[in-house]
Amino acid sequence: MQITTKAIVLSSLRYGDTSLIVRVFTQSDGVKSYLLKGVFGSKKAKIRPAYFLPLMQLEIVANHKNKGTLESIRDVKVAVPYQTMHTDIVKNSMVLFLAEMLGISIQEQEQDESLFNYLTYALNWMDGHKLSPNFHILFLLNLTKYLGFYPDTSNPDMPFFDLLEGGFCETPSLNPLIHNEVLYDFKKFLGTDFEALQAIKLTKSNRRELLKMVVQYFRLHIHGFREPKSLAVLNAVFT
């Protein structure tokens, strides 16, 4: 079946000498993987590898057999031409991290319009604004709304946040917890939006610790979660 859909690139991997395997989140069918044959080494190739940079927003014409095998793409064009995402070295570091986190976290092979709309909004906002060093934290916390484990904000005055239970608590448990200064910073992000990011001030050490807790939160709630390799690079950029 031939379909035309918008898509967000999650990852790409060179296959052999001339081909590319790309994994994207499509508006029509959720996560799909494609084999692009002959895209390297041919000046006549219609589809170029440069289209498949992390988090690029594309419009693709694809053949979907839906048999659990790699699909094929017939045509591709850029849906949203970014101005800064891949040219600003700091933004590009964050792009690599967010693309890896999304690739780990989004597993559905079915349409999810609300998640797709959130991602396009957030990526367009990131491209068009000065980057806050806290952007990725809010991006990931808001992402949990669509993945089904957004923090329960009942009882926010409690002194602990239980990462496994996803809620605030009065007494510590054996589960991983957020508390003290990091909990105070954590609460700044709940219920806020990207427009308010510049008003959120964190020390470098607290930002790193909070991001560590957020990644652990994902690890506890995403089946098969693996540690993002780009986390170390991102921490180096923001220290």
CA-to-CA distance for 36 and 5, rounded, in angstroms?
Answer: 17
Residues of the chain with pLDDT under 70: 239
CATH number of 84-239: 1.20.1440.120
CA-to-CA distance for 57 and 43, rounded, in angstroms?
Answer: 23
pLDDT 10s digits, 51-79: 999 999 999 999 898 877 899 999 999 99
How many Cα atoms are found within 13 Å in the side-chain-facing hemisphere of 90? Answer: 13
Fold of 1-81: OB fold (Dihydrolipoamide Acetyltransferase, E2P) (2.40.50)
Q: What is the pLDDT of residue 201?
A: 93
Tokens of 98: 């967010």
Tokens of 157: 């005055």
pLDDT 10s digits, 42-53: 777 788 999 999
Where in the chain are the domains? 1-81, 84-239
- What Cα–Cα distance (Å) separates residue 179 from each residue in 134, 187, 209, 210, 236? 19, 11, 11, 10, 24
Q: What is the pLDDT of residue 130?
A: 94
In this structure, which long-range contacts are made by residues 149-155, counting pairs with CB atoms below 8 Å and at least 24 apart in sequence?
Answer: 149/217, 149/221, 151/190, 153/190, 153/191
